[in-house]
Amino acid sequence: MTILVIAEHDNKVVAPATLNTVAAAVKIGGDIHVLVAGQGVGAVAEAAAKIAGVAKVLVADNAAYAHQLPENVAPLVAELGKGYSHILAAATSNGKNILPRVAAQLDVDQISEIISVESADTFKRPIYAGNAIATVQSNAAVKVITVRATGFDPVAAEGGSAAVEAVAAAHDAGTSSFVGEELAKSDRPELTAAKIVVSGGRGMQNGDNFKHLYALADKLGAAVGASRAAVDAGFVPNDMQVGQTGKIVAPQLYIAVGISGAIQHLAGMKDSKVIVAINKDEEAPIFQVADYGLVADLFEAIPELEKLV
């Protein structure tokens, strides 16, 4: 059995989610190869070769793969993937964009966002916003799977010494082109990888009030998240959204501030180790999943909390 893991990267560095995906591959068992597709990805390939447990790194360095457009990358993965037992990618926006296209080209069903490996062909994944866990078995010749990063502890980024091999294949479907992107800049840790997350909801009342959460987060070395209500109200950009349709987090500590706790939001954070809820409505559903609940006005509690930690 040989497993192909698609590296998540931005043409400069390997994203942490790749390490969790390799961890899932280790659980399946077998040789692990990593594919780095992009443009000018020499440094990414070098970093991928150092990941513990990786046997080989395949590098497809081509202008057509510069922005990892699925129309171009999926045929490459499908072509290479035919010789593998499993193809894995992180369930990031990139992985979700590309992998189903690969699965369709290989004419197999995909398994999305696995949270555990039961055996080489059986996996667990959440359905219905995490309100049920399905055990799914695949009899496909090539099993195409996306991995929920928070379900697997990352492997070490150093210690491996995989061989690096160039892949010549270039696919340019010519049906799509990259126009531009607007990335949010932040000095805080990345939301999905942070040890502590402080999230605000509709109770924050406006975007300006998020400064209280930023101050607390900076003191804790935490990332800042938000509920869909806060995003839809325009308080914060949507890449901060935690939930079924936003990001899935499972930090050591999750502090939910002014968040009621709708099903959609709980789906994104209920695997956190410790959940703290600060809300003035003591009936808020968030208290049903919180380890520690504080019924209080957040505008008094947050500055006080910032002082005490």
CA–CA gap between residue 35 and residue 39 (Å, rounded): 13
Three-state DSSP class for 80?
helix
CB of 66 to another protein, least distance (A): 12
Contact with another protein (CB under 8 A) among 33, 86, 171, 228: 228
CA angle 36, 37, 43 (to 5 degrees): 55
Residues whose CB is less than 8 angstroms from the CB of residue 145 and which lie 6 or more positions away in sequence, other chains included: 24, 86, 87, 88, 89, 99, 110, 111, 112, 114, 123
Residue 29 near residue 1, CB atoms below 8 Å:
yes
Query: Does residue 120 belong to the site contacting another protein (CB under 8 A)?
Result: no
Q: How many residues bind another protein (CB under 8 A)?
A: 90
Six-digit token pair at 19? 């390490």
| CB nearer to another protein: pick between 3 and 106 | 106
Exactly one of 52, 108, 155, 198 binds another protein (CB under 8 A); which one? 108
Does 134 sit near another protein (CB under 8 A)? yes
**Judged by CB under 8 A, which of 128, 156, 166, 211 binds another protein?**
128
- N-terminal to C-terminal alpha carbon distance within the chain: 49
* 298 interacts with another protein by CB under 8 A: no
Q: Does 270 bind another protein (CB under 8 A)?
A: yes
264 binds another protein per the rule CB under 8 A: yes
Q: Between 64 and 103, how does the x/- string for binding to another protein read (CB under 8 A)?
A: ---x-xxx--x-----------------xxx-xxxxxxxx
Shortest approach of another protein to residue 234 CB, angstroms? 10
What is the C-alpha to C-alpha distance for residues 239 and 190, in angstroms, rounded to an integer? 11
For another protein, the closer CB: 53 or 95: 95
